[in-house]
């Protein structure tokens, strides 16, 4: 069995959370994953480079709080990869 790196596990965990089809902020993902905002942000931008997630920046002018934010959603390719990963790795390795 292939052992996953911690950073790879986080990317899969992000995809698992996003698999419900909802839109999440980096902040909300960091709270759900119990990790820091910067780690989530960097991993999400990497997933976006691979076409597995879509990130939309909400400019400060559009934001009710006046603070720019990001919204993340899984793509069809992300859902397909997650299904493949579940077939390869046991569910406990995809915590």
Q: Domains in the chain, start-ordered, CATH in brackets?
A: 6-87 (1.10.10.10)
pLDDT of residue 71: 96
Q: Are 72 and 24 in contact (CB under 8 A)?
A: yes
Q: How confident is the model at residue 3 (pLDDT cuts 50, 70, 90)?
A: confident
pTM above 0.85, yes or no: yes
pLDDT in tens, 35-92: 999 999 999 999 999 999 999 999 999 988 898 889 999 999 999 999 998 888 765 5
Residue 34 has pLDDT above 50, yes or no: yes
Cα–chain center distance at 56: 13
């Amino acid at each position: 069995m292939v052992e996953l790196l911690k950073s790879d596990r986080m990317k899969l965990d992000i995809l698992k959370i996003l698999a419900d089809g909802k839109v999440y902020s980096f902040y909300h993902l960091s709270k759900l994953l119990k990790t820091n905002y910067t780690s989530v942000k960097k991993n999400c931008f990497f997933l976006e480079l691979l076409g597995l997630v879509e990130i939309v920046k909400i400019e400060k002018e559009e934001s009710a709080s006046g603070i720019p934010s990001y919204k993340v959603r899984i793509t069809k390719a992300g859902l397909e990869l997650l299904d493949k990963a579940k077939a390869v790795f046991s569910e406990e390795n995809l915590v």
